[in-house]
Structure 1
């Protein structure tokens, strides 16, 4: 996992270079969201819990309004969208509000 990460809390992506660097290694969950998105707000506590509780998971948050290019490149058409990476490769994608247990199962399958 990158040394640029803060354990226990999601990392808000600032630019493409940071995104590419942080998704290049280990297990990464990218949460595509927007401030105006009700389902995104419903999912936020679950995402925060995962970031805090799962030691080998890096959680990134991409605001689709600020980073339309990243969302477009990822093919995000609806939010919340969750993209899992394993060692730099996209491994799973989920759209909509998800249960914590379902997200944990994905993480476990990527270990």
Structure 2
């Protein structure tokens, strides 16, 4: 399930379990390419939540999470960052991180 959220929605959500937070910008070419990869991964792992967050519209959350550029993916476990991948990533690298996070 890929869902776009904002800072308020993130703060209100249950953070138990695993999830992926992807910070992106609408004007970012690599972010657009990553969206296709995440859609494929979402199909492979339908029970793994993926949340996209607009980098430009969520300054407070971006700063709180220490995100400096886009795209940035934060692999989260029970509200804590387990792994961070920055820049455009290939599908196998993302799958590896999802599988590792789900195995813990």
Q: Unaligned 5+ residue runs, structure 1?
A: 1-8
| 1:36 Cα offset (Å) | 0.5
Q: Tell me if the contact between 2:30 and 2:71 (Cα under 8 Å) persists in the aligned partners.
A: yes
Question: TM-score, structure 2 length as denominator?
Answer: 0.88
Long gaps (5+) in structure 2: none
Alignment deviations for residues 4-53 of structure 1 (CA, whole Å, 9 cap, x no partner): xxxxx31111333x213446122101110010011111111001122232
Instruction: Tell me which stretches of 4 or more aligned residues in structure 1 moved more than 4 Å.
Output: none
Query: Using the alignment, how far apart are the partners of 1:68 and 1:97 within structure 2?
Result: 21
Alignment RMSD:
1.5
CA contact (8 A) 1:84 1:93 kept: yes
For residues 67-99 of structure 1, give each alpha carbon's deviation from its aligned partner in whole angstroms, at most 9, with x where no partner exists. 111111111111100000012211000101111
Q: 2:82 matched to 1:95?
A: no
The TM-score with structure 1 as length reference comes to 0.83
CA distance in 1, matches of 2:54, 2:14: 16
SS of the residue aligned with 2:49?
A: strand
**Counterparts of 1:40 and 1:23, CA distance in 2:** 26
